[in-house]
Amino acid sequence: MDARRTDLDPQVAALLAEPTYQSLPPWHALSVEAARRLEDDVFGGEPTISLPEVTDTAIPGADAGSEIPIRVYRPLEAHDLPVLLFYHGGGWTLGTLDSADDLCRAFAAETESLVVSVDYRLAPEHPFPAPLEDAIAALEWVREHAAAIGGDPDRIGVCGSSAGANLAAAVARWDAHRGDDVLAQQVLCYPITDHAFDTPSYVENADSPLLTRADMRWFWNQYLRHPVDGVNPYASVLRASSFDRLPPTTVVTCGHDPLRDEGIAYAEALEDAGVPVSHHHYPSLPHGALSLADEVERSAEAMEKLTDRIRLRFVR
């Protein structure tokens, strides 16, 4: 067995044995519409963390006349808070502001940051690079308006989970390539980094809980206009020719995740390029583990360690 993977955490195993999880069909077996309805049913619901202020609004989109819905989470009354842009997961195909709500509330409360959650356009209606264009537009808007919403324009970070982590990494690459160096940090939670399915983790975790190899093939098929897009370094960020100028990075990977090895490879590529990297690996946890923090002690520990690192990276 690969040392990066141990037995599935007992609390996760017990949770996945409950009827709610046992009855879930795989994402790839559903139509896009049915998968979105299921995602809303599973990850929606009433918030569990109360914050002083949560505001829904919209900002200009990448296309003329378009808008991007965002949700701004304020944990404190202060007006110079660091700003953490958050891009939700869902294989670029699923996900809403509501499905990411609890995670964003936790990030805001535990990092004492102003969290801006971005409801970017989804594939297949809006394939690559449309979601990335919205993600970049959100960063540009935050850079310009951070002070107006109570944030510190000198302390901006990007964060995402899964496909959202892919977008966060691509946004950080775009920022570094332009030479703007706006970002203080990037936070990548079980990121998608490569359009390939040949790593040991894709074999070991082909049928792992919450995300399978077949699911990932389905998600990539929704996102890409053509397979050639899969080699674009703004889609497969691991294939970039250079990782220079990227901001300090935190990467979270999990043992029971088909994306494990590409996340590890990305952390190692950045380290080799001299980028400050904190890599948090959890051999017994599955993809999406941070969303299980209320039920799984190891996930709660992972969330605490991650938010501590985010908060420290924002210290001036």
DSSP 231: G
Q: What's phi and psi for 244, nearest 5 deg?
A: -65, 150
- CA–CA separation, 181 vs 160, rounded Å? 19
Residue 162 annotated to the active site: yes
Q: Of 257, 261, 291, 299, which residue is the catalytic one?
A: 257
| Residue 50 · residue 67 · CB < 8 Å | no
DSSP 313: H
Nearest-5° angle of CA 132, CA 98, CA 117? 40
Q: Of 99, 113, 161, 162, which residue is the catalytic one?
A: 162
Strand, helix or coil for residue 244:
coil
Among 57, 61, 62, smallest CA distance to 73 is for: 57
Residues 172, 177, 182, 187, Cα dihedral to 10°: 10
DSSP 24: P
Strands 114-118 and 67-74: antiparallel
Amino acid 311 reads: R
- CA–CA separation, 109 vs 103, rounded Å? 10
- CA–CA separation, 236 vs 227, rounded Å? 11
Q: Of 88, 195, 256, 287, which residue is the catalytic one?
A: 287
Measuring CA to CA, how many Å separate 67 from each of 105, 119, 121? 23, 10, 10
Residue 23 annotated to the active site: no
- CA–CA separation, 298 vs 278, rounded Å? 18
Bridge partners of residue 74, in order along the sequence: 53
Catalytic positions, written as ranges: 162, 257, 287
